[in-house]
């Protein structure tokens, strides 16, 4: 009996011991740390504000103000007191471009936006020459060649090209000129006109006759508005001299800049476009060629395509765009024009 009681006690003790040594349940996980409402320094929302006046100190209302860098662009318009405010800007360094009808264009660089305070960018618009205002207040001298319109006339098509010059190694504007010039020479354009443009330059080809699919006409018809001289004189040849040659014509303008380009709503005329090569400089001046290319620079191709569909005295070359093109007649885009002209391949674009 004693033996049985001892065995029962041992068994009960073993059971209690097993229960007493079970692992405790894991503690609940700690609560997540509170989320900060302040992001990294590069993701804040900063402000650029300022006042735009003329040389007498009077306010300039309705001036267009563009605050931009390589990643972002914001616009505003000055009020009746010449004041403007641009909000919602990620922290960083910006340029400010100010344009108003009847005044010079002003650009302020090195405007730093932080969380500390609103960045100020005031400007004085003057009449007479185009100037660029640096953060230190220095004003650049006008360039020695004609300037292409700040707001180019409406084109048939346009497109920003893939990078033509490697970003590393501090490229200069002349590097872009060499790439474009080699490509134009390779496909037979030859004559071209250079213009200064904001922080860069513009290059215009001479007017050429093209096929409806965008291919350049063969020589000698390519670069003339007159029909080829026949071996036997005829009235049809005389008519061709009096009125423009029937068909399609094209002028290409390349604009190299880091600034936004805003076209007018007025279509280019054939006389205007045909005069761009002769109205510009024959080469890019060294002052522009040696200038370091600004960050965010790109090349935009503007295609001016004209058509003359009749052969009477009232016929004119008409710019083809989305407003004038016939529904049954497709309007080529800029890439198609560059591909069919041979320039896309000559530029080494994919």
The secondary structure of residue 140, as a DSSP letter, is P
- Residue 46, classified by CB atoms within 10 Å of its CB into exposed (0-12), middle (13-18) or buried (19+), is buried
Secondary structure of residue 243 in the 3-state scheme:
coil
Q: Which residues pair with 105 in a beta bridge?
A: none
What is the per-residue pLDDT across 198-222, written as a single tens digit (0 to 9) for each? Answer: 889 999 999 999 999 999 999 888 8
Distance separating alpha carbons of residues 280 and 210, to the nearest angstrom? 23
How confident is the model over 108-137, as a mean pLDDT? 70
How confident is the model over 85-111, as a mean pLDDT? 85
Distance separating alpha carbons of residues 142 and 19, to the nearest angstrom? 93
Count CA atoms closer than 13 A to 264's CA, side-chain side: 10
Q: What is the CA radius of gyration of the chain?
A: 34
Q: What pTM does this model have?
A: 0.59
* pLDDT of the residue at 225: 66
Q: Which residues pair with 226 in a beta bridge?
A: none
Sequence-ordered alpha helix ranges (H) in 105-258:
173-186, 235-242
3-state helix, strand, coil in the chain (%, to 5): 20, 30, 50
* pLDDT of the residue at 187: 94
Distance separating alpha carbons of residues 175 and 162, to the nearest angstrom? 15
* pLDDT of the residue at 58: 86
Least confident of 107-121, 144-158, 262-276: 107-121
The answer on pLDDT for 232 being more than 80 is no
* 164-167-172 Cα angle (round to 5): 75
* pLDDT of the residue at 165: 85
Cβ atoms < 10 Å from Cβ of 20: 7
Q: Which CATH fold topology does 43-125 show?
A: Immunoglobulin-like (2.60.40)
Cβ neighbours of residue 89 closer than 8 Å, sequence gap 6 or more = 45, 46, 47, 48, 67, 72, 74, 113
The answer on pLDDT for 143 being more than 60 is no
- Closest Cα to residue 287, out of 205, 173, 118? 173
* pLDDT of the residue at 238: 45
Sign of dihedral through CA atoms 331, 334, 339, 342? positive
Q: Which residues pair with 65 in a beta bridge?
A: 76, 98
The answer on pLDDT for 157 being more than 90 is yes
* pLDDT of the residue at 325: 56
- Closest Cα to residue 101, out of 85, 121, 78, 81? 78
Least confident of 76-80, 316-320, 325-329: 325-329
The answer on pLDDT for 313 being more than 70 is no
Domain ranges of the chain: 43-125, 157-346
The residue that leads in pLDDT, 144 or 328, is 144
Average pLDDT score over the chain: 77
The answer on pLDDT for 185 being more than 60 is yes
Cβ neighbours of residue 203 closer than 8 Å, sequence gap 6 or more = 177, 180, 181, 184, 192, 193, 194, 195, 253, 254, 256, 280
The answer on pLDDT for 194 being more than 90 is yes
The answer on pLDDT for 290 being more than 50 is yes
* pLDDT of the residue at 199: 86
What is the per-residue pLDDT across 158-175, written as a single tens digit (0 to 9) for each? Answer: 999 998 887 667 889 999
* pLDDT of the residue at 326: 52
The answer on pLDDT for 242 being more than 50 is no
Tokens 């290059």, located at residue: 203
How confident is the model over 264-283, as a mean pLDDT? 89
Cβ atoms < 10 Å from Cβ of 330: 11
Cα separations in angstroms, 83 against 15, 51, 121, 233, 260: 86, 4, 10, 68, 22
- Residue 238, classified by CB atoms within 10 Å of its CB into exposed (0-12), middle (13-18) or buried (19+), is exposed
Read off the pLDDT band of 27 (50, 70, 90).
low
279 touches 146 (CB < 8 A): yes
Read off the pLDDT band of 240 (50, 70, 90).
very low
Secondary structure of residue 287 in the 3-state scheme:
helix
Distance separating alpha carbons of residues 304 and 290, to the nearest angstrom? 29
The answer on pLDDT for 42 being more than 50 is no
* pLDDT of the residue at 310: 57
Distance separating alpha carbons of residues 284 and 144, to the nearest angstrom? 10
């Amino acid at each position: 009996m004693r033996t049985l009681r001892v065995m029962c006690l041992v068994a009960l003790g073993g059971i209690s011991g097993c229960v007493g040594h079970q692992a405790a349940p894991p503690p609940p996980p700690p609560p997540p740390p509170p989320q900060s409402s302040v992001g990294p320094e590069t993701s804040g929302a900063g402000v650029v504000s300022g006042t735009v006046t003329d040389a007498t100190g009077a306010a300039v209302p309705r001036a267009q103000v563009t605050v931009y860098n390589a990643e972002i662009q914001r616009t505003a318009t000055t009020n009746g007191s010449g004041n403007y405010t641009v909000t919602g800007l990620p922290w960083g360094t910006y340029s400010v471009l100010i344009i108003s009808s009847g005044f010079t264009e002003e650009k302020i660089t090195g405007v730093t936006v932080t969380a500390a305070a609103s960045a100020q960018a005031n400007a004085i618009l003057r009449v007479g020459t185009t100037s660029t205002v640096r953060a230190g207040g220095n004003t650049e001298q006008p360039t020695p060649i004609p300037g292409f319109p700040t707001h180019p006339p409406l084109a048939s098509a346009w497109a920003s090209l893939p990078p033509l010059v490697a970003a590393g190694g501090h490229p200069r504007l002349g590097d872009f000129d060499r790439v474009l010039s080699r490509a134009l020479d390779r496909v037979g354009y030859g004559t071209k006109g250079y213009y200064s443009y904001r922080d860069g330059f513009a290059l215009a080809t001479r007017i050429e006759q093209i096929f409806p699919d965008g291919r350049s006409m063969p020589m000698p018809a390519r670069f003339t508005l007159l029909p080829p001289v026949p071996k036997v004189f005829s009235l049809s040849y005389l008519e061709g001299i009096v009125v423009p040659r029937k068909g399609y014509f094209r002028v290409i303008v390349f604009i190299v800049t880091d600034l936004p380009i805003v076209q007018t709503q007025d279509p280019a005329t054939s006389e205007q476009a045909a005069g761009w090569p002769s109205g510009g400089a024959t080469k890019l001046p060294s002052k522009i060629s040696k200038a370091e290319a600004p960050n965010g620079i790109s090349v935009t191709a503007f295609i001016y395509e004209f058509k003359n569909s009749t052969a009477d005295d009232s016929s004119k070359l008409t710019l083809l765009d989305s407003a004038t093109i016939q529904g049954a007649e497709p309007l080529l885009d800029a890439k198609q024009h560059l591909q069919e002209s041979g320039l896309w391949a000559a530029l080494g674009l994919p």
